[in-house]
């Protein structure tokens, strides 16, 4: 049985949007092997760029969907597994900022494996950064509609998927959380109220000694 169809970022945008205009990418200077000088990281990025035609794992812009203008965020899974690095965080932050400034809803088209290991803790901090942007967009009263593609796992699901107002998923898409309670915005089940203790206080048990000297509850019967 064949798995779900994995489209590139540009292909999914072409299917969803009537028109699309890419937002300018924030400029950031960094070493070829990234902020941690991870050996081979620059070469991996170059191969990913050549293979996908993208310079980062996400494409952000404005588009019209069924006559409604919105900010769209499309992940390119072919670029290092759609992972989130510092530059990815730059683009996501810029997209949410543009949405708030122009009063537009945000539509993330998510396909990611989570944080980018070559950037270590700096990549993990992008999850908090993106979650903050999502919260600010929600406070501004703007809708967020997430579409989960295959696969959507790790922190990408927790911040971009679970944090949206409406969450949709493509048929057969693999969706996985990084752990119980991680990034969960609300409880999925109502909390069970604690049991009320009896007003009569704790139970007590009477003890007695038999003629044999042994101690038994209710007597030993000797």
**Per-residue model confidence as pLDDT tens digits over 90-110:** 999 999 999 999 999 999 999
Q: What is the pLDDT of residue 177?
A: 72
Whether the predicted pLDDT of 61 surpasses 70: yes
Domain 9-187: what homologous superfamily? Answer: 2-enoyl-CoA Hydratase; Chain A, domain 1 (3.90.226.10)
Q: Before 151, cis peptide (omega within 30)?
A: yes
Segment of 66-75, 157-166, 180-189, 200-209 carrying the highest mean pLDDT: 66-75
CA 220 – CA 222 distance, rounded (Å): 6
Q: What is the pLDDT of residue 188?
A: 36
Q: What is the pLDDT of residue 104?
A: 98
Q: What is the pLDDT of residue 193?
A: 57
Q: What is the pLDDT of residue 210?
A: 54
DSSP 6-53: ---HHHHHHHH-SEEEEPPPPP----TTTTTT-TTHHHHHHHHHHHHS
Cβ 8 vs Cβ 149: under 8 Å: no
CA 221 – CA 171 distance, rounded (Å): 71
CA 178 – CA 114 distance, rounded (Å): 9
Q: What is the pLDDT of residue 200?
A: 54
**Per-residue model confidence as pLDDT tens digits over 9-19:** 999 999 999 99
CA 52 – CA 4 distance, rounded (Å): 19
**Per-residue model confidence as pLDDT tens digits over 70-80:** 999 999 999 99
**Residue 125 belongs to what H/E stretch?**
helix 120-139
**Per-residue model confidence as pLDDT tens digits over 32-41:** 888 888 999 9
Parse the chain into domains and list their residue ranges.
9-187
Q: What is the pLDDT of residue 98?
A: 98
């Amino acid at each position: 049985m064949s798995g779900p169809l994995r489209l590139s970022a540009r292909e999914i945008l072409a299917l969803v949007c009537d028109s699309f205009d890419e937002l300018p990418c924030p400029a950031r200077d960094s070493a070829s092997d990234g902020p941690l000088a991870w050996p081979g990281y620059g070469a991996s990025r170059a191969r990913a760029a050549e293979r996908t035609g993208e310079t980062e794992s996400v494409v952000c812009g404005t588009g019209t969907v069924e006559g409604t203008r919105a900010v769209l965020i499309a992940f390119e899974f072919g670029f290092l597994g759609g992972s989130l690095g510092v530059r990815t965080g730059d683009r996501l932050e810029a997209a949410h900022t543009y949405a708030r400034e122009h009063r537009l809803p945000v539509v993330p088209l998510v396909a990611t494996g989570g944080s980018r290991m070559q950037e270590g803790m700096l990549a993990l901090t992008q999850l908090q950064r993106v979650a903050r942007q999502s919260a600010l967009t929600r406070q501004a009263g703007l809708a967020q509609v997430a579409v989960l593609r295959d696969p959507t796992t790790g922190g990408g699901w927790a911040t971009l998927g679970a944090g949206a107002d409406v969450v949709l998923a493509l048929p057969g898409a693999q969706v996985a959380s990084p752990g119980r309670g991680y990034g969960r915005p609300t409880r999925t089940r109502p909390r069970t109220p604690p049991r009320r203790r009896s007003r009569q206080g704790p139970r007590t048990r009477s003890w007695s000694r038999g003629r044999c000297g042994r101690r038994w509850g209710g007597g030993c019967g000797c």
